[in-house]
Amino acid sequence: MELVDAGSELKIITEDAAIKASLPNRKLNMNLRGIGGHTTSLIGLSELTQVLLPSGQEKEIHLFISKGAAHTVLGRPFLEDNNIRLDFSHKQGEIFSIKKQMVEDYVCQYANPIYGDGKQDHQEEWSFVQWEK
């Protein structure tokens, strides 16, 4: 499971995911304390890891590697560096959008709005679509 966290200053991937992806690992040993007081051990850093964004852009990022059952986290620097915006629309619910080449926006709805009748507008799968301006 991946988390998009606009309050996080780090990009984190689990040790298992880093091993499966054969990522390089520069060993380190430090603890990270979360807002709730829990700690996560960071055991490595994968520098200049290439990722493919849903917009089709390829980027190189640094990923801290965590030990144990943590989540992959994409923090604020990742969002800012890649022109990703988190927003809320009364019509679409919570969305994030990625600007591609400063012209097109790609939008993903990641939480659906609940209407006055208490029913939620369900979506079978998430997909990136070109945003009509």
Which CATH number is 59's domain given? 2.40.70.10
Residue 15 burial (CB count, 10 A): 18
Let me know whether 60 and 94 are in one domain. Answer: no
Select from 80, 58, 82, 67 the least CA-distant residue to 32: 67
Q: Would you say residue 30 has pLDDT above 90?
A: yes
Q: Considering its fold, how many domains does the chain have in total?
A: 2
Q: Which domain holds residue 8?
A: 2-75
Let me know whether 28 and 69 are in one domain. Answer: yes
Domain boundary among 35, 57, 75: 75
Band (pLDDT 50/70/90 cuts) for residue 120 is: very low
Bridge-partner residues for 88, per DSSP?
94
Q: Which residue has the higher pLDDT, 58 or 41?
A: 41
Whole-number pLDDT of residue 90 = 65
Q: Would you say residue 101 has pLDDT above 80?
A: no
Structure tokens at 109: 């709805």
Q: What is the mean pLDDT of the chain?
A: 70
Let me know whether 54 and 113 are in one domain. Answer: no
For the chain, state the CA radius of gyration.
17
Let me know whether 6 and 49 are in one domain. Answer: yes
Let me know whether 62 and 32 are in one domain. Answer: yes
Q: Would you say residue 31 has pLDDT above 80?
A: yes
Let me know whether 60 and 87 are in one domain. Answer: no
* Distance between CA atoms of residues 8 and 74, nearest Å: 8
Let me know whether 52 and 17 are in one domain. Answer: yes
Using DSSP's 3-state secondary structure scheme, residue 104 falls into strand
Structure tokens at 101: 């080449």
Let me know whether 97 and 47 are in one domain. Answer: no
Which pTM was predicted? 0.60
* Distance between CA atoms of residues 132 and 18, nearest Å: 36
Let me know whether 71 and 97 are in one domain. Answer: no
Residues 92-104, mean pLDDT to the nearest whole number? 57
Let me know whether 53 and 105 are in one domain. Answer: no
Whole-number pLDDT of residue 39 = 84
Strand 104-111 relative to strand 26-33, pairing: unpaired
The secondary structure of residue 133, as a DSSP letter, is -
Domain boundary among 29, 56, 75: 75
Bridge-partner residues for 44, per DSSP?
27, 65
Question: Is residue 25 within 8 Å of residue 44, measured between CB atoms?
Answer: yes
Sheet with strand 39-52: strands edge to edge: 2-5, 72-75, 12-14, 58-66, 39-52, 26-33
